Structure 1
């Protein structure tokens, strides 16, 4: 029997960002099972983002983790390899609450990302029917489209000089929720690989922050997990979303620390 109640879907990370509260995220590149959602939840993270750009992560595993996160009240985001609308739609249909696209360098690319994530009139994504985000309950199509699009996050990564040069236009695109600075790739392109305290990186963060402020968009910090003082500095300047590190680095650090206890 169809459930005629009005669908309710909450994106807790998006809500926190809208209130000016910090959101701390754990990147998943290694663990393929739903256990990682509970580990992130117990550790106190607000969000998990599954990295399908720099891993061999299969879509089925990503979808299972997204569904587990949704049940726990964590916000599951997925970084896809690029602007493939068919693949983005499949990721969203598998339970993701938002898409992160790397290396966005123009407003046209940002608009293409919005079209891939959102349904009409803002986008062009096909309506799949009963959604895992709504626990496969059946609602009128117009209500499903509305709640999915209101809850979903569209995140464009700025990690190149071209992206910085167009950041004001990218931030102005309707439907983009957040710009996430990818400090690792940005530092490589600028010829200062890994030098996160270099003035060029600071200047880049300030430009992104100003563009987001001017357009009412959230600001994300990526690649600074090992630089907590810098993270705090950019949070004080308005950044809200913090990518703290990934499961590989967390496991490696904890394993090394444990081994040193037995030297």
Structure 2
């Protein structure tokens, strides 16, 4: 019995556009609700949301069997942290602040069992193997791992072509907010030079054998990103959706501007 098929990885490889959303509540109940909306993928965010290993695992459980594929974003690409979330059942990781091909290669190795990588082979204890219920997990898991790397600085953009050449990277995600800040436009990803960098980056990724990804909460901006080559496109953030709806309701009923 092999490791479960990573349908998200398959869809990226086929060139399908998949629409996603950020899950930032760090709570399985909220993520389960979001999973009923029909998004193709959801980011369980460990970088800017208050998640830990147990809350990430609980959300992976909540999404089991859902249409929405869980993408776990770690705050860093440490080998030990990657090992833990993979054993907890994640198959797709999004790792921030990648600025070189060497960093990307290290991540590929961290996500794979030997001889292709250095992932610890303690799968007997792991939720990923259904606690030894998948006898061929270690032998087959490597092919189901999906690595998405975030390029979000000037250094990362300068190294983009080298990162795109790394075997085992499935997609490259451009981080507009961090890129804008690094380019001297904090809080303004719509600055002309930032927009041009994003357009160029998405085009270069889309022209490669990797999938291009990005986040936009403005519909017009998201449409532009799609036209420029974004394949895995996030179009919402759950905490922002709640805050916006709550504020609009208060404004409607209180008469406040």
Normalising by the residue count of structure 2, what TM-score does the alignment of the two structures yield?
Answer: 0.90
Q: Which runs of 5+ in 1 are unaligned?
A: 1-5
Offset, 1:157:
0.4
Q: Contact 2:32 / 2:59 at 8 angstroms: preserved in 1?
A: no
CA shift in 2, pair 1:218/1:170, >3 Å: same
Q: Does 1:16 align with 2:7?
A: no
Q: Counterparts of 2:182 and 2:137 in 1: how far apart (Å)?
A: 41
Partner SS state of residue 49, structure 2:
coil
Q: Counterparts of 2:118 and 2:26 in 1: how far apart (Å)?
A: 32
Partner SS state of residue 163, structure 2:
helix
Moved more, 102-111 or 250-259: 250-259
The residue that corresponds to 2:2 in the other structure is 7
Partner SS state of residue 36, structure 2:
helix
Q: Counterparts of 1:211 and 1:7 in 2: how far apart (Å)?
A: 35
Offset, 1:233:
1.8
Query: Paired residue for 1:187, among 150, 156, 180?
Result: 180
The residue that corresponds to 1:167 in the other structure is 160
Normalising by the residue count of structure 1, what TM-score does the alignment of the two structures yield?
Answer: 0.88
The residue that corresponds to 2:23 in the other structure is 28
The residue that corresponds to 2:83 in the other structure is 89
CA shift in 2, pair 1:215/1:121, >3 Å: farther
Offset, 1:8:
5.2
Q: How does 1:1-263 map onto structure 2 within 5 Å?
A: 6-7=1-2, 9-32=4-27, 34-130=28-124, 131-136=126-131, 138-140=133-135, 143-222=136-215, 224-225=216-217, 227-263=218-254
Q: Which runs of 5+ in 2 are unaligned?
A: none
Q: Contact 2:26 / 2:44 at 8 angstroms: preserved in 1?
A: no
Q: Counterparts of 1:99 and 1:221 in 2: how far apart (Å)?
A: 14
**Which 4+ runs in 1 deviate beyond 4 A?**
none
